[in-house]
Amino acid sequence: MEMLTDSVGDFFPWLSPLIDVFSGWNSRVEKCFSNLDAYIETILAEHQNRTISDDDKDFVHALVELSTIENAAGYRLTKEDVKALIMNRKRTETRYRKNDILENGGERDTKIASASPLLIPHESLRHCQIGGYDVFPGTTVLVNGWAIGRDPETWGENAAEFYPERFENLEVEYGGGSYEMVPFGGGRRPCPAMNLTPTVIEFTIANLLYWFDWEVPDEVKNEDLNMIEKEDSLVLRKKLPLYLIPIKHMWED
């Protein structure tokens, strides 16, 4: 999670050498890479110390064997080469094994349950007409992202329901290219967290679902859960807290 946060130095590059040291960013990054290196070392040690049949060998076994052989140019894979290739493979597997329902569910969260019903106020730069009304330069414009994400003409009669399958065959981007949902704004100046937020949401939900089974207390049925949102705030949040019971999932070997 440390690597998913932003560095202040990214916004002020000329101050980066100073800010990142005193904010502790550099030490946190070094700690993350140290933990990652230790994890890769563990994978290598497990494959080097275990003898298995050729049919059960995987990508890491192949790299370990190649590191003991010189190629035609007399070069042999070093330990650092092997670890770099393992890391690249892990990154690729993570990218292509992403669960579609999880990803679509994250898009649903930003469509219906955006952080705020209204986008940051915008200002019209030139005269235009919207719905037959004249909008003059300097006019403050408030965009109701909450209503756009629940428009039945775009999303159907179940626009307000949790239905992530709707995104499977729907070409809609929340990055500003489509205006059917605008949780991060749009145009040339969208929200700077547009790329970070979906990653954090998917990462968090994936861990919660992977490690735990979830139940509602007091034998409450799922359809009886109160999902009404508060209407007296500029930030969307549930009117009543959601109570769940986590049960550690016991994976079979």
Q: Which CATH superfamily is domain 100-248 in?
A: Cytochrome P450 (1.10.630.10)
C-alpha pair distances (Å), 205 with each of 10, 54, 101, 216: 27, 37, 11, 17
| pLDDT above 60 (res 250) | yes
- Contact by Cβ (8 Å): 174, 148: no
- Average pLDDT value over all residues in the chain: 76
Q: Is 211 helix (H, G, I), strand (E, B) or coil?
A: helix
Q: In 3-state terms, what secondary structure has residue 6? A: coil
To the nearest 10°, report the CA torsion of 62, 66, 41, 249: 0
Where b means 16+ CB within 10 Å and e means fewer, 67-97 reads: beeeeeeeeebeeeebbebbeeeeeeeeeee
The pLDDT of residue 110 is: 58
> In this predicted structure, what is the pLDDT of residue 11?
66
Q: What percent of the chain has pLDDT over 70?
A: 78
Residue 97: predicted pLDDT: 46
Predicted model pTM: 0.51
List the chain domain ranges.
2-96, 100-248
What are the helix (H) ranges across 97-158? 100-112, 145-148, 152-155
Q: In one letter, which amino acid is 55?
A: D
Residue of 104 and 229 predicted with greater confidence: 229
pLDDT for the residue numbered 139: 93
Give residue 140's pLDDT: 92
**Higher-confidence position of 115 and 122:** 122
Reduced to 3 states (helix: H, G, I; strand: E, B; else coil), residue 246 is strand
Tell which phi-psi region holds residue 131, choosing left (phi > 0), alpha (psi between -120 and 50) or beta: left
Residue, of 184 and 174, whose pLDDT is higher: 184
Number of H helices, E strands in the chain: 9, 6
Over residues 68-89, the mean pLDDT reads 77
* pLDDT at residue 69, rounded to an integer: 80
Average pLDDT value for residue range 225-251: 80
Residue-level pLDDT at 39: 83
CA distances from 216 to 72, 82, 208 (A): 63, 46, 15
Residue 77 carries which side chain, given as an amino acid letter? L
Q: Report pLDDT for 94.
A: 47
Residue 107 has pLDDT above 60, yes or no: no
**Which pLDDT score, from 0 to 100, does residue 129 have?**
92
Res 84: pLDDT:
81
Q: What is the mean pLDDT of residues 204-231?
A: 81
Please say if the pLDDT value at position 173 is more than 70: no
